[in-house]
A and B are shown apart, each in its own frame.
Chain A
Amino acid sequence: MAPLLQLSGLQKRFGEVRIADGLDLELEQGAAVGIVGPNGAGKTSLFGLISGDLRPDGGDVRLDGRAVNRLDAASRCRLGLGRTYQVPRPFEGLTVFENVLLAAQQGAGTRGRESHAVALSSLDRTRLSPDANRPAGSLGLLARKRLELARALATRPRLLLLDEVAGGLTDPEVRELVEIVRAANAEGMTVLWIEHVVRALVATVSRLVCLAGGTFVADGPPQEVLESDAVRAIYLGSTVAVAT
């Protein structure tokens, strides 16, 4: 069986900055993988390449063995790719429920009662049900982060890309969030998660990769990666020992 997500030889540069210099990555169905790396390494841009917001300069993105390079973000979403933004971007003029309902209808392709059920269950999971009828523009940061996650879940993705959903949250909030993501993963959803809150990652993922200078400088079980020389060099602030 083909891996759910396969990146091969992915290239992307912005002027002189290489954020992907021949990236290769394979994600098996049901995996939970974390991405760490220094600021500006291009982690979010990598998500842009996978979700279709950005066009690669070279290389392939494959979903389920199918090359999706030519598909826009909306089509990739319907193929089962869900993503959250680091800075939440709710549709502020719509209510919380409408935000999620839209994702269920368009992203998951559901209709009628089924879309309502999908929308309600993703609000339930993210504990947003009490706020369902509030305009999304009136939500605070935590609720916005939850809504971002709820909306991604409502598209019923097979692969969920999480971009720093734990950033700026308190410890109990982070624990609650980890539970939501673990539950989704336990149901078979594949998770790829960028996070600076490393304890949240370690509690959830079974594999960690570190992106720096356009390549994955480490890849393996979380503890091993965090203790590796390459990652230590980056996080302790010494010269980044990365092949260029």
Chain B
Amino acid sequence: MVWVNALIQGILVGGFYALFACGLSLLFGVMGIINLAHGDLAVIAAFVALTLAPAAHVPMVWSFVLVVPLFALGGYVLQRTLLQASLNRSPFTTLLVTFGLSVVIENVLLEVFTSNGQSLNIGTLIADSFNPTTTISVPYLSLVVLVVAVVVLGSLQLFLSRTRTGRMIRAVADDREAAQLSGANYQHLFGIAAAIAFATVALAGLAYGMYTEFSFDAGTANLLFAFEAVVIGGIGSLWGTLVGGIVLGIAQQVGGQINPAYQILAGHLVFLAVLVVRPRGLFGVRAAA
């Protein structure tokens, strides 16, 4: 039964990884930007909620109503300014710029919020769970996050495949110049893609802040898990990112069941195994271009 529980916990935490990795996958898939500041953005979202929600008298569980639109707007603006400017130079520049952004964000957060651990207080919801047997426990918060991850990734997939804007985003991802010749303004579309990516990373950051204590430097460690989820699932596939997150989550929980010290290691090993056996990932459409 402990193994069944490990599997269930793995799927639940995998939902969080997928939600977290979604924006990373999108930025890389559409613009070819590897956003090294992705994890730090999530931490900013948590800090913003920490500050804004009490000030606006909004219960913490509803803080996404404030934070997500703010992040979408911020994503659009950042893409049209800093990120676009670095893209115009070279893909390598975006790597340096987002790395620099990550350093700046962490230090500003340290300056403003000190190095104290914080958490987003959601009252008793943090401890409430559904317990079908004595060994299996499904925390409601984790379940909600998993559902949110599936809904976000699913609607994003639908958006990209069925709508006019989604189709254009896929076209500019494919060939920016040729898309321009069909009348598509790629800079605006990149902005929209970044807005979506930032909105999802805000959700992930809030979920993270509700789960656990966070401080200014929590982003970097989480960035690694997001990367692993994207690579395991396959670059360019959103469903792949969901599966990648869940595979990573299960590997960690099962590893942790064997020996608590193996939890993180087991995730890394599965990640390496996927790289060796199937470098394009489980659902990768093609090798990274």
Contacts and interface: CB of A to CB of B under 8 A. Distances in A.
Interface stretch (B13-21, B132-140, B172-180, B222-230): B172-180
Nearest to A48: B177
Interface in B173-202: 173-175, 177-186
Contacts of B180: 52-53, 72-74, 77
A207 interface: no
B170 A77 contact: no
B164 interface: yes
A83 B182 CA distance: 9
Interface residues of A, number: 32
Contacts of A151: 182
Give the interface centre of B164, B178, B186 by most chain A CB atoms within 10 Å: B178
B275 to A, nearest CB: 23
A172 to B, nearest CB: 28
B167 A155 contact: no
A152 B183 CA distance: 10
B58 interface: no
B155 to A, nearest CB: 19
A172 B156 CA distance: 45
B186 A94 contact: no
A93 interface: yes
Contacts of B167: 94, 98, 101-102
B67 interface: no
A102 B171 contact: yes
Given A98-B167, A102-B167, A106-B168, A92 B174 contact: yes
Of the candidates A75, A85, A105, the one having the most CB atoms from chain B within 10 angstroms of its own CB is A105
A18 B260 CA distance: 68
Interface string A53-93: 10000000000000000001111011000110100011111
A89 B170 contact: no
A91 B175 contact: yes
A103 B173 CA distance: 15
Interface string B143-170: 0000000000000000000001001101
B285 interface: yes
Nearest to B285: A93
B174 A103 contact: no
Nearest to B188: A74
A93 B182 contact: no
Contacts of B285: 93
B174 A93 contact: yes
12 contacts: A74-B179, A77-B180, A77-B183, A82-B181, A89-B178, A93-B170, A94-B167, A94-B170, A102-B171, A103-B183, A106-B183, A106-B184
Given A77-B181, A102-B171, A106-B184, 7 more contacts: A51-B181, A74-B179, A78-B183, A103-B183, A107-B183, A151-B182, A155-B182
Interface of A: 51-53, 72-75, 77-78, 82-83, 85, 89-94, 98-99, 101-103, 105-109, 151-152, 154-155
